[in-house]
Amino acid sequence: MKLSKEQSEQFDRDGYLFFPSLFTPAEVKVLLNEVPALYAQRRAENVREKGSDAVRTNFAAHMYNLQFAKLARHPRMVEPIVQLFGEAVYMHQFKVNGKLAFDGDVWQWHQDYGTWKNDDQMPEPRAMNVAIFLGEVNEFNGPLMFIPGSHKLGVLDAQHDTATTSYPLWTINHDTIRKLVERGGIVAPKGPAGSMILFHSCLVHASNCNLSPWDRINVYLSLCAVSNHIRRFKRPEYIAHRDFTPIECLPDDCLVKDYDVPLPWKDGTPEAALKPLAAA
Ligand code: SIN
Ligand code: MN
């Protein structure tokens, strides 16, 4: 999939692009069918909501689940990113976020690149975030909210919040958010299962809790330009990957046909990938 000149300009201006229904219902079903078994596993990669057993985020499914491993190599997702960066990319982070009905908690206002720079020593914001909806995203189930144009401001001051939710995050203070919203407003792309968003790693974003009876399950993939690979391995490998091999795309029908892909963590995550590298 190639981006038009207008789409590249829009990405540069707003910091995101929205592709409603990019994946078909049959393709999405293949992925959604895997989620209950994924979330039922008792492993470090499943981070649960504070005070509940509901999974907030599942890490690195592409290392141990065949269907998500195929998604990680999907040309409709990878090709536009290679086009924007002008070089090959590797998978920096892979998450299946379940903002589950009634239990799904907030994600505070933040930029992803702040964490990648501070924790992982990623040199530049040359990593792209992708969100793929596995179910409908509507105004009630906690859509992702963006402040358009906020990516132009580079890395903003942030505080490490380890208390509000079950997942620590570098969050941006309310005064800054107020000012950013005055100039850029807030948008929340909503749409059917199979929709995809590409968003800049400096774009300020957040999401509300899900008080609706509908799950909001999104896959988030973060693909980094190979030359911009992380320099520090302070976080466990299942959160910030250390294999910088360029992604090789599968054919476009990979979600509905059989293809062989490696699943290196199929029989369990290696001990070394569960902890920071010594001396990092
Ligand atoms: C994120 O920002 O990493 C997740 C946000 C969400 O799932 O709504
Ligand atoms: Mn984020």
pLDDT tens digit sequence for 33-66: 999 999 999 999 999 999 899 999 999 999 999 9
Collect residues with CB below 5 Å from ion ligand 2: 112
- Residue 44 pLDDT: 93
Nearest-CA residue for atom 1 of ligand 1: 107
- Give dist(CA 224, CA 85) in Å, integer: 9
Ligand 1 contact via 207 beta carbon (within 6 Å): yes
**Average pLDDT of 212-228?**
98
Question: Considering every ligand atom, which ligand is closest to the CA of 206?
Answer: 1
Question: Residue 167's pLDDT band (boundaries 50, 70, 90)?
Answer: confident
- Residue 278 pLDDT: 61
- Give dist(CA 46, CA 72) in Å, integer: 18
Atom of ligand 1 nearest to the CA of 110: 2
Distance 109 CA to ligand 2 centre (A): 8
pLDDT of 191 over the 90 cut: yes
pLDDT of 279 over the 60 cut: no
- Four-residue CA torsion sign, 131, 68, 102, 169: negative
- Give dist(CA 277, CA 232) in Å, integer: 9
> Both tokens of residue 98?
């379940």
Ligand 1 contact via 220 beta carbon (within 6 Å): yes
Distance 182 CA to ligand 2 centre (A): 21
Distance 251 CA to ligand 1 centre (A): 28
- Residue 275 pLDDT: 85
Ligand 1 contact via 107 beta carbon (within 6 Å): yes
Ligand 1 contact via 144 beta carbon (within 6 Å): yes
pLDDT tens digit sequence for 66-117: 999 999 999 999 999 999 999 999 999 999 999 999 999 999 999 999 999 9
- Residue 177 pLDDT: 98
**Average pLDDT of 120-127?**
97
**Average per-residue pLDDT for the chain:** 96
Judge if pTM exceeds 0.75.
Answer: yes
> Both tokens of residue 209?
């809790």
Report yes or no: 45 and 238 within 8 Å, Cβ to Cβ: yes
- Residue 111 pLDDT: 97
Q: For residues 2, 4, 8 and 13, what is the CA-based torsion angle, rounded to 10 degrees?
A: -140
Phi-psi region of 86 (alpha: psi -120 to 50; beta: other; left: phi over 0): left
**In which residue are the tokens 């302070």 written?**
234
Distance 258 CA to ligand 2 centre (A): 32
Per this entry, what is the length of the chain?
Answer: 280
